[in-house]
Amino acid sequence: MLGLNNEIQSLYDSILTKYKEAIILQTASSILHWDMETKMPPRGIELRSQQLSVLELAGHKVITNPQNGRLLDSIEKHPNKYFLSNQQVRNLYLFKKVYDENTKLPDSLVSETAKQQTISINTWKKAKAAKDYNIFKEDLKKIIELKLEAAEILMDVKGTKTPYDALLDSYESKMSAEKINRIFNIMKKGLIEVINKINDSEKKINTEILEIKVPVNDQKKISQILMDYLGYDILSGVAGGRLDETEHPFTTGYYDDVRITTHYYEDKFTSSFYSVLHEGGHALYNQNIPKEYMYQPLGEASSYGIHESQSRMIENLIGRSPEFVSYILPNLKKIIGKPFKGIKLRDFYEAVNVVSPSKIRVEADEVTYGLHIIIRFEIEQMIFNGEASIEELPQIWNQKYFDYLGVQIENDSEGIMQDTHWASGLFGYFPSYALGNIYDGMFYKKMKRDIPKFKKVIKSGNFIPIKQWLKNNIHSKGNLYDPEDLIKLVTGENLTVKPYLEYLERKFSKIYNF
């Protein structure tokens, strides 16, 4: 019996060795992507596309090595497989999922997709700067075709009804477009009710505060205060993070090397303010997954929606709360000086929570943000159901923005080209943002119950109890659970939009007096 236990442990260890190889290649790719967005000279794009293509293909080959299939088969047939722990069983399940899916994808498709993603991102940057969709549309068409080809291949192994469902599953396990549509329809109805109440309110919020010019150097000092608040270290001799500037803020990295980015606007300082909080939330999740899960399938987030719940929790539910605003305003006054001298707490709090339909997703308020995601979700379904051509996409986008948010899109850079996700081939990712908000509502409700004097904790500038709660309840679980199972474990409830909508109603009724 002991010999058999040693045998199955050896088989299991061999699986983890292969996975570690793949993770190391994947994390090397992520750093090259980071460099491409932050430091790489313009002429480096062709070489970078080749580098990323080779790394992507190498990682694909490590995962799809036939030996992995034999190892998995041997473990499945082993008489002592029942001695494996729950964590080991979960690791094997996740590895087999990755193996089964990747073995269906041809090497040529993996390599070509990685190369095209790099080219498309570069083209998107040029097209956005020129405000010319025509520059971008052919590369967008190519990346869509490649992702559709992969999705059609993966439908069978993932057990999905449609190609788009296969894409969604890559970001939110076991979620389908049908299920998301049901959830989003409830959310959309609730959001529109709150928006209508705000529109009917006589309360007018002065947002001139947000237009005060703040030099970039001062904004960098503010960013450092925010990172110190979160406990995201970029300065010490044992730092595991850094902050850099990019066109579109993002987070990348793994455990001991997790990097965030932001974009500074002198006349819109809250853009970087809240992007640092948002990306900091992502970074804390990556850094706080248990060290013993490193290089294992368990050493990753439960889903992209759970990841977004962590970033948007800190950006909005914490960062736009009256308590946090009360804590941070004296710091802002000290750094910004005279322009902020006479600003009152109530005025600043209301300004950073103003509800006003906008063209740009990353600058959207808490209430209208979900509609930005619903627009993208609906368009993605149209693309992969064959209901929208490349040429029609800008017009479809612009019409939906007018219908849902009442705003007129002036050019494609503030319209269909505002986000980098489609250029990166991340179709199916966008729903995770809104799902993250919904998850937040449930987590926030539970967290407030669990942390004594919750509001006083935030107001005092002490983030440690909140960080510990997030770590204990979410970060520490890694990828032990699928998202809906994790939510049930943490909150005791099944997935529901209700707590999030109640949070919005409660908060904005006080701001807008309805």
Indicate which residues carry an active-site annotation: 279
Q: Cα–Cα distance between 210 and 348 in angstroms, integer? A: 8
DSSP, res 277 = H
391, HSE (Cβ side, Cα atoms, 13 Å): 0
Q: Count of residues for the chain?
A: 514
Give the largest Cα separation in the chain, rounded.
Answer: 77
pLDDT at 4: 52
Q: Cα–Cα distance between 415 and 418 in angstroms, integer? A: 6
Q: How does DSSP assign 102-164, residue by residue?
A: HHHS-HHHHHHHHHHHHHHHHHHHHHHHHT-HHHHHHHHHHHHHHHHHHHHHHHHHHT-SSHH
Query: H or E segment at 509?
Result: helix 498-512
Residue with tokens 């995770």: 432
Residue with tokens 């455990």: 255
Q: Cα–Cα distance between 291 and 252 in angstroms, integer? A: 18
pLDDT at 2: 47
- Report how far apart, in Å, the C-alpha atoms of 217 and of each of 13, 209, 220, 222, 260 are: 49, 19, 5, 9, 18
Query: Which among 146, 58, 61, 164 is positioned nearest to 103, based on CA atoms?
Result: 61
Query: Which among 474, 469, 476 is positioned nearest to 488, based on CA atoms?
Result: 474
- Report how far apart, in Å, the C-alpha atoms of 281 and of each of 79, 249, 261, 292, 307 are: 44, 13, 12, 21, 8
74, HSE (Cβ side, Cα atoms, 13 Å): 16
Tell me which amino acid residue 34 is.
W
pLDDT at 362: 86
Fold of the domain built from segment(s) 177-512:
Neurolysin; domain 3 (1.10.1370)
Q: Cα–Cα distance between 110 and 255 in angstroms, integer? A: 26
Q: Structure tokens of 223?
A: 């960013």
Alpha helical stretches, state H, 159-268: 163-169, 177-200, 216-230
Query: H or E segment at 257?
Result: strand 257-262
Helix, strand, or coil here: 390? coil
Q: Structure tokens of 236?
A: 């010490």
Strands 241-245 and 257-262, by their bridges, are parallel
Contact in structure between 311 and 435 (CB atoms under 8 Å):
no
Query: Which among 239, 253, 249, 299 is positioned nearest to 28, based on CA atoms?
Result: 253
| Residue-level pLDDT, tens digit, the chain, 514 residues | 445 588 999 999 999 999 999 999 999 999 999 999 999 999 999 999 999 999 999 999 999 999 999 999 999 999 999 999 999 999 999 999 999 999 999 999 999 999 999 999 999 999 999 999 999 999 999 999 999 999 999 999 999 999 999 999 999 999 999 999 999 999 999 999 999 999 999 999 999 999 999 999 999 999 999 999 999 999 999 999 999 999 889 999 999 999 999 999 999 999 999 999 999 999 999 999 999 999 999 999 999 999 999 999 999 999 999 999 999 999 999 999 999 999 999 999 999 999 999 999 988 999 999 999 999 999 999 999 999 999 999 999 999 999 999 999 999 999 999 999 999 999 999 999 999 999 999 999 999 999 999 999 999 999 999 999 999 999 999 999 999 999 999 999 999 999 999 999 999 999 999 9
Alpha helical stretches, state H, 1-106: 2-38, 45-64, 66-77, 86-104
Query: Which among 233, 251, 261 is positioned nearest to 311, based on CA atoms?
Result: 251
Helix, strand, or coil here: 259? strand
Q: Structure tokens of 302?
A: 């439960």
**Domain layout of the chain by residue ranges:** 2-159, 177-512
Contact in structure between 240 and 258 (CB atoms under 8 Å):
yes
CB neighbour burial string for 236-268, b if at least 16 within 10 angstroms, e if fewer: eeeebbbbeebebbbbbbbbebbbbbbebeeeb
3-state secondary structure 401-467: HHHHHCCCCCCCCCCCCCCCCCCCCCCCCCHHHHHHHHHHHHHHHHHHHHCCCHHHHHHCCCCHHHH
Query: H or E segment at 272?
Result: helix 269-288
